[in-house]
């Protein structure tokens, strides 16, 4: 006799099995990175096995004492946090206005906002470079931050508009009765209720700023001391030689800030996705 709950247990077992397979596929590149970083040069040249037979554990110490790597991580953090702050500062008031005010061609404007996401930075890198040259923004972080924020601002506005629209206007009316203006209502009522959306937007902005390569390579090519880690990893690929161990370990370390950010805001992201799905 089939015991009760058999179908549920079978479904759960299948779901967990599929999750493990997907997790293994996602983790496999990281395992290859660690394995490559630990292999001596002789094993890299011979490609004898997947795992190193004589691991070079000193790479963990050497990479953390490499001033170039530490400087690249610091520069990436400056760019990522700058992009995140500027994007939120511009997207919040714009999204609030779109969520609360109805005006002609509003829907068309939102469509145009999304269409702009189809453009890659490489498509407009030449006019961007010319504009940055005219404004004196080459060779510094402000130019990279401004250009990167311009690319992710449309989607950030669209994302936050959805969260702001889901908040009842009755809460704002109650705040108005308590003598709260628009700015105070936004700060004390809307933003605290929109933490999941703010977290999702902040993560998206941070990832874009952290992974940014084309704009940084173009704007900071003449200033190696300001290269982010993405440009630094690319520069380690020489014409005649590639330092695979240092390259793989640097790439692996560059994922740590992103993992820490995700672990910190995961609960807000879960609530944000649930809110969007429920709309």
Enumerate the domain spans of the chain. Answer: 1-56, 75-278
pLDDT tens per residue, range 149-201: 988 888 888 888 888 888 877 777 777 766 677 777 777 778 888 888 888 88
- Give the three-class secondary structure for 51: coil
Are the C-beta atoms of residues 265 and 152 closer than 8 Å to each other? no
Beta bridge partners of 242: 237
Q: Which of 78-92, 93-107, 253-267 has the highest mean pLDDT?
A: 78-92
Q: In residues, how long is the chain?
A: 279
Specify the long-range contacts of residues 96-99, CB closer than 8 Å, at least 24 apart: 96/160, 96/164, 96/186, 96/190, 98/157, 98/161, 98/164, 99/161, 99/164, 99/165
DSSP letter (8 states) at residue 181: -
Assigned CATH for 75-278: 1.10.3720.10
Quote the CA–CA distance of 254 and 248 in Å, as a whole number: 10
pLDDT at site 1: 47
pLDDT tens per residue, range 86-136: 999 999 988 888 888 777 777 777 777 777 777 777 788 888 889 888 988
> Model confidence at 5, in pLDDT bands (50, 70, 90)?
low
């Amino acid at each position: 006799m089939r015991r009760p709950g058999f179908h549920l247990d079978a479904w759960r077992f299948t779901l967990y099995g599929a999750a493990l397979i997907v997790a293994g596929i996602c983790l496999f590149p990281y395992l290859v990175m660690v394995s490559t970083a630990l292999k001596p040069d002789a094993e890299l040249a011979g490609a004898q096995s997947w795992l190193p037979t004589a691991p070079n554990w000193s790479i963990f110490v050497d990479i953390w004492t490499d001033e170039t790597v530490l400087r690249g991580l610091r520069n990436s953090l400056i760019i990522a946090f700058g992009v995140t702050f500027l994007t939120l500062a511009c997207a919040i008031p714009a999204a609030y206005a779109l969520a609360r005010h109805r005006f002609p061609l509003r829907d068309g404007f939102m469509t145009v906002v999304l269409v702009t996401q189809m453009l890659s930075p490489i498509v407009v890198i030449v006019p961007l470079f010319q504009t940055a040259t005219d404004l004196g923004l080459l060779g510094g972080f402000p130019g990279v931050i401004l250009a990167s924020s311009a690319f992710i601002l449309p989607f950030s506005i669209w994302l936050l508009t959805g969260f702001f629209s889901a908040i009842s206007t009755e809460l704002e009316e109650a705040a108005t009765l308590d003598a709260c203006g628009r700015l105070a209502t936004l700060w004390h009522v809307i933003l605290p209720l929109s933490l999941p959306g703010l977290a999702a937007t902040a993560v998206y902005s941070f990832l874009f700023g952290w992974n940014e390569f084309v704009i940084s390579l173009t704007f900071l090519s003449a200033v190696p001391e300001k290269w982010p880690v993405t440009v630094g990893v690319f520069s380690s690929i020489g014409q005649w030689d590639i330092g695979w161990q240092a390259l793989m370990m640097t790439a692996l370390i560059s994922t740590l800030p992103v993992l820490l950010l995700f672990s910190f805001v995961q609960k807000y992201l879960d609530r944000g996705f649930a809110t969007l799905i429920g709309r």
